[in-house]
Amino acid sequence: MRSKIKHTANGKKSSYKYVIPLLTVTVGGVIGGTVAYSFLPDEDIASIDASESSNSSETDSANSSLKEVVTAPQEAAPTTPTIEEVTKTVSVGKGDTLMKLLTRSGATPQESHQAIVALSEKYDPRQLKIGQDIKLSFIKETPPEQSSPETVQLISVSLKEDVDRELAAIRKEDGFSIEETVISLEKEMARAEGVIENSLFLAASKAGLPTRVILDLIRIYSYDVDFQREIQTGDKFEVFFERFVDKDGNPLKEGNVQYAALTLSGEKIALYRYQTPDDKLVDYYSPLGQSVRKTLMRTPIDGARLTSGFGKRKHPILGYTKMHRGADFGAPRGTPIMAAGDGVIEMAGRNGAYGNYVRIRHTDSYKTAYAHMKGFAKGMRKGKRVKQGQTIGYVGTTGRSTGPHLHYEVLKNGRQINPLSVKLPAGRKLKGKILTSFKSFVKKMDIEVAAVPLLTEMAQLEAKNKTKID
């Protein structure tokens, strides 16, 4: 028993031997750290506090982010359809109609018809030209469910009727209505002249004349000049005409020829566009006041070439010599054919070997006939009154024909005569006060013409200025 108690006492004494040094080290460390901390500068203390705060913040942020990722709900599927506007431009191709273009582009037949009806208030859809651009706008609606089909609705159809005029059929609540946009253009005068080497057309193009003005020039002189036989190398021309430019000075379209002159074999034929004050009619007159207009035009077609004259010839199809009682003018299929003079249509329809045929009565003595036409202009029928220069049909090759051309006849008292040599009654001759007023107009016009530089001179000046700028 005594031995056991002694052993225990010795054990406690042994434990104290290790505890006392450990406590001494711990207490000393705390006291030493406190004393050292008290001697630190303020900024170091702030840095330590900030570091601890930052570590604590980052930990909280990480925990928060982790919590958000875990608890964030998934995005709900869209419940409304997607709506977008789609615009496309289509070009008119051979055989296209406006209805074909619209339905082929995605419009329904019903809305296509409504849009065409609206456009027809100010535009004839049959006047579409190959290559003409048409702008279409649609609303496309895509439903949220992929199994449901998308819907497309036509909202507008727009086209340029002219360079300065655009028409559009716009969808409204009760259907389509037409809207017209007109660009403001400024009129200026232009002048061109040149010497004919091979053809009037080529020489005029080289001088800077637009095609439309060249055709107007040919039409103006078609009463007196046979462009197939009377034009020779060295002949000259001069043209003074209107043109319309945009705000930047770019020419967009041409207006009327105000003055023109042809010098053929040394003889100058000058013509002035003039409106007579008594009847307000516009015509072209010689310097002496003689109207260029005749009862009939010699060539009722623009830009054509004479392929066969009046008289006996070997028929190209029948193969034997036969009297050719008219003049043939070769031209591309679809070229407009004009009425040679004012009159009333006696016949418009199919006429045997003539194919599609029109005959016009002008006076009690004179009639004209037009054959092998591709088709007739709108409204051409028996009893229809037409004006000189009005389009009555288009060049074709119907009937007994080897290719597209116009067969043109002039009938006097029921008999065909040579259209190229017939002596036609002259037009109006100005007299009295009107003639005096006209001569004063001619003097002013001559001064105005001389003051305008040639197109070729203007082009050279512009090129020179551009070179200086570069």
Q: Could you tell me the CATH number of the domain that includes residue 400?
A: 2.70.70.10
Residue 76 covered by a domain: no
The answer on 369 and 228 residing in a single domain is no
The residue among 71, 94, 129 that closes a domain is 71
Q: How far, in Å, are 9, 25, 168 from residue 4 at the CA level?
A: 9, 33, 121
- What is the extent of the structural domain holding 164? 82-182
> Is 174 found in the same domain as 191?
no
Is the domain of 449 the same as that of 387?
no
Q: What is the pLDDT of residue 20?
A: 55
What pLDDT is recorded for position 327?
Answer: 87
The reply to whether 384 and 465 lie within a common domain is no
> Considering the domain boundaries, does residue 348 fall inside one?
yes
Q: What is the bridge-based pairing of β-strands 366-376 and 336-338?
A: unpaired
- Are residue 310 and residue 413 in the same domain, yes or no? yes
Domain count, the chain: 4
Q: Token pair of 457, please?
A: 């001179």
Specify the pLDDT at position 34: 55
DSSP letter string, 61-111: HHHHHHHHHHHPPPPPPP-S-EEEEEEEEEE--TT--HHHHHHHTT--HHH
Separation of alpha carbons 171 and 420, rounded Å: 54
Helix, coil or strand: residue 303 = coil
Looking at the structure, do residues 318 and 173 belong to the same domain, yes or no? no
Residue-by-residue pLDDT tens, the chain, 470 positions: 444 434 444 444 444 455 455 555 555 555 555 544 455 455 444 444 444 444 444 444 444 333 444 444 555 556 677 888 899 999 999 889 999 999 999 999 999 999 999 999 999 888 888 899 999 999 988 877 766 777 889 999 999 888 888 999 999 988 999 999 988 899 999 999 999 988 888 899 999 999 999 989 988 887 778 776 778 899 999 999 999 998 888 888 999 999 999 999 999 999 999 999 998 889 999 999 999 887 788 788 876 777 877 776 665 665 656 677 788 988 898 999 999 988 999 999 999 989 999 999 998 889 999 999 999 998 999 999 998 889 999 999 999 888 899 999 999 998 988 888 777 777 789 999 999 999 999 999 999 999 999 988 766 666 666 565 55
Residues 201 and 240 in one domain: yes
| Cα gap 118→131, rounded to integer Å | 22
Give helix then strand counts, H and E, for the chain.
8, 22
Q: Cα–Cα distance between 343 and 362 in angstroms, integer?
A: 4
Phi and psi at 89, nearest 5°, equal -115, 125
Nearest to 223 by CA among 286, 276, 281, 274: 286
The answer to whether 360 and 343 have CB atoms below 8 angstroms apart is yes
In eight-state DSSP terms, residue 149 is P
Give me the DSSP letters along 205-222. HHTT--HHHHHHHHHHHT
pLDDT at 1: 42
What local confidence, expressed as pLDDT, does residue 222 receive? 79
